[in-house]
Amino acid sequence: RLFVKVRVPMELPAFVASSSVASMVARCVAHPLDTCKARLQGPDRRLYAHTLAVLRRTWQQEGLRGLYRGFGVAVLGGAPAATVYLLTYEKAKAAWLPPPPPPGDAAAAAAGPVRVFAAHFGAGMLAEAMSCVLFVPVDVIKERLQVQHTGVSDRYRGTADALRRIWRQEGLRSLYRGYGATLLSFGPYSAFYFVFYEQFKHWLRRDGAAPQNKNTGPNDTDNNELSFGALLLAACGAGGMASLVTNPLDLVKLRLQIQRRNLAAAAVGGGGGG
């Protein structure tokens, strides 16, 4: 997940609209790479040596459509989930960021960076916990579509077919069975993402000055000093660092979701269905 936040005063409808549009644009660009990641982590990972091999093989065998499997549900479900994610983060961060320490209070000044880290980390975790209510069903459907290949007999024909069959064969509970695993993987990702993002913004400020509140570290009060390119660079850097830290947990999460699918399919086949 990649989010570029341009923090300016706006009404809630404008915030919702901008968050949704940003989510959809990011999904359009990044979805083929997300499909590659899912296939590299999935049950057929031995077919691919690296990301370029996934791109080449998928393009040759399935075309552009293969790279965009699961795109529909990711866009339709991801936009409102991203809005919940960003709005929760902004509200929690505003409530938890510490005020400037009193002049001359060395102890409060020394504790400031730790409190700022805790505010950003905690706000990221809370944002993920709230948005996972929407993200988890989207991820389950999206990933099942992404890892399947053409020619497989028991394959989903699309988003609607996947949702209908999961509902009938596994029930609503299966759509949320990965909530804990997702929170364990994306929760730390979101927390570290925003910690790195705020720090990278601090380093990238064009005038090189420290934040307005020098004793508490990076904050969002002067986002407008940064160009869109600088914010994009901060977001990409933060996403890369957070992925480096949490990728093993993401791998476990995806394989658990795939395993649940395989067990459910085996149970249906053993009962004479399908």
pTM, full prediction:
0.72
Average pLDDT over residues 56-64: 93
Nearest-angstrom CA–CA distance, 166 and 173: 10
pLDDT at position 271, please?
A: 41
What is the number of other CB atoms lying within 10 angstroms of the CB of residue 235? 20
User: Which position has the higher pLDDT, 172 or 61?
Assistant: 61
State how far the alpha carbon of 75 is from the alpha carbons of 10, 64, 79, 171, in Å: 24, 17, 6, 23
Residue 77, burial from CB neighbour count under 10 angstroms (0-12, 13-18, 19+): buried
Residue-wise burial string across 245-257, b where 16 or more C-beta atoms lie within 10 A, e elsewhere: ebeebbbebbebb
Q: At 270, is the pLDDT very low, low, confident or very high (cuts 50, 70, 90)?
A: very low
Q: How many CB atoms lie within 10 A of CB 195?
A: 22
Q: How far apart are CA 252 and CA 245, in angstroms?
A: 14
CA geometry: angle at 272 spanning 157 and 258, to 5°?
50
CB 56 within 8 A of CB 5: no
pLDDT > 90 in the chain, percent: 17
Q: Are 96 and 118 in contact (CB under 8 A)?
A: yes
Q: How confident is the model at residue 7 (pLDDT cuts 50, 70, 90)?
A: very low
Q: pLDDT of 178-223, one tens digit each?
A: 788 778 878 888 888 888 888 888 888 754 543 444 443 444 444 5
Q: Across the chain, what does the average pLDDT equal?
A: 79
Nearest-CA neighbor of 128 among 73, 95, 89? 89
* Encoded amino acid at 160, one letter: A
